[in-house]
Amino acid sequence: LTLPWQQGTDFLDDNFLMSLLALEPAIQTIAVLLQSVIKAMGSRFNNYTMLDCLFRAFAVACSFPSASLPLLYAQVISQIHTGVIDSYLAFSQTALPPAGDHERALDDSQWTKALKHVLELTVSAPCYYLAGLTILGELLPLPLPIYIRTGSKVTESELSACVNLRKLASAHMLCLSKQIGNLLRLIGGSTNPFVSQVLRRVASQIGDLSAPAANMLAELGVRILLDAWEPYDRLLIAWEARRAGTVRVA
């Protein structure tokens, strides 16, 4: 009595496994090619068409319950996830110019455009919510504190590199405040436990980058709440005006 698309997928089908086995090396190849080409061309590389296919492949892979799949299936899906993330990270190789208009350089940088692509595709359809948030969580630095093994030491150069990386990531995210606001406005009220959990993690990662990033999130949150309350305020004012008119007539 159910339609074919409502009957689910047989994850143990041979065709399903063959599709995964064909997709995994293709994505790994794209990741290696992107890293090599961007390293060679630098900021002259301006082709982002392959990101659509990579994003959708990641979204499809996220829809599989990898925890309940056989080990081979789970390993292939994990490799697909890794290949897509490596492909996006390839766009972070290009350094910003040492002088000039840094704000414009950030807006035009490959890394900002790649992150903007993720944010825009995430809100384009409900089936992309979880995949897009997961990609963002993998691309952003981990929130502090970062625990290390007992007995290991962190050098001053490593600390400086960590701080500079977080500052640079914060600058890129500040350039995308409009896209982040659209994301929070659309998904912030989600009751899906998986989506809300990943959204909280991504928001924590963004807010932990720097004080300006945390301030941006706070301003976006307050603005979204005020926009949501505005229709109710109008209804309340209209109801009070109507009630006041009724009392005067009586």
Of the candidates 179, 191, 162, the one whose C-alpha atom is nearest the C-alpha of residue 216 is: 179
248 part of a folded domain: no
**pLDDT of 1 strictly over 50:** no
Domain span holding position 219: 8-223
CA distances from 157 to 43, 94, 154, 171, 210 (A): 27, 21, 8, 21, 19
Task: Give the chain's domain count.
Answer: 1
- pLDDT averaged over every residue in the chain: 82
Radius of gyration of the chain (CA): 23
Torsion of CA 114, 119, 120, 124, to 10 degrees: 140
188 part of a folded domain: yes
pLDDT at 44: 84
154 part of a folded domain: yes
Please state the separation of Cα 85 from the chain's center in Å.
11
pLDDT in tens, 76-129: 888 989 999 999 999 988 776 555 566 677 778 888 899 999 999 999 988 889
55 part of a folded domain: yes
239 part of a folded domain: no
197 part of a folded domain: yes
pLDDT in tens, 137-154: 999 988 777 777 777 787
142 part of a folded domain: yes
Task: Give 69's DSSP letter.
Answer: S
80 part of a folded domain: yes
